[in-house]
Structure 1
């Protein structure tokens, strides 16, 4: 059931600079009107230049974190990000099985910097988790891995996403921002083709760190808030566009900096933007 203030759990890795992973998810959930909670899958030493190292805590501790939340709090939506290994994926899948909430899976496999964030041996387990997801939000390199195809155009990506949706019974977001051209919007695709398209222009900035994490977390929140995947993706897409447009003002890091998650909240405080 739609909820005015959805309780959204992010299951993800960390980013000490605050631009991606769990840190970005909590900001995105708040910006989208939800209450954010977080379970850590991996401790990642990274900054705006890339990933330096990854530490994976014991899987038993991950399971304790998950049950500590779900034993106490009713969860209205789950966003899953970086999982890293097959054992982590299996633990999250087993925990989620009795959870009655939509699951948005951001299949974190390859960072925008090109860093590999998923053990290749875990790819089949990730595909199995995708079958339990309501929506998956891969970037184009991740969609290529998931579908074993090389994708160079929107049409190719949509066709590949449609095939994946048919096989796994999920919705797939195709992201224009990871393709060439002026179009940087997003398409929502099911087994029959395109359900919706929200168009946004490409912006000239290097500061797009954490866009995938942020989009999926906002999407999970708006889905729990509205119950409508197309409306949820439209809101998340337009918000993320403005967050990217304002990113240069943050001046965080000397590499590819984060997006401005608070851009609409500050405008709302000034009376310029409706929630």
Structure 2
């Protein structure tokens, strides 16, 4: 299976973002990719007010485009994440959607871990306008390959990836808008760690460049194999990278170094007072 990670410099201009995404997804499919992943908030990325204005339901323009395009190209398309307007909720969701080659929505994952941090002197409060999801999600790619779904800041929570692996995920997608500082210092290390720990492929498209209100994402979209080797890294510009996912090689790794099988669940317990 050939996978592609699409790297975008999304802004508040949804029409522009959709046009670039359409061009790059089609180019990746022309290069043989049958599994394509877009970055976090690919359709609209901007100030809190711009995100609110650009929020849309799952039958809105962004996911409707994704469904039409996946069906036309015959690909599995993970439409990164969008800012979802959830009917009946005061706050929005950061939602990743897997669309199958038939154009049908196969799975929907709402980001569990919201980005409430300070990085490089900038305070991010994702929870001010968004509410977290409460469920981990797996899906199935064409051919029955199990897919685990995560978004951006989820990368720092290894228990999420372990649970996805134990549910059968052989590939995990991580659409992201990692900050420039954390991309430079943490991105590759964490991606490779999650891949090694769970002996899974990780497809991680990132945003690149500036976006309102003066923030900047670090690019370097990657595809990592279950041994932790980086199969592809994007240059610092909009574009895409591809890599072939060798599932037979993954099976060899899991057989020769059976870390997942050697787990000792009976010995594991959360320490008292470990709740957030």
Q: Which structure features the higher share of strand residues? A: 2
Give the TM-score normalised by structure 2.
0.42
Give the TM-score normalised by structure 1.
0.42
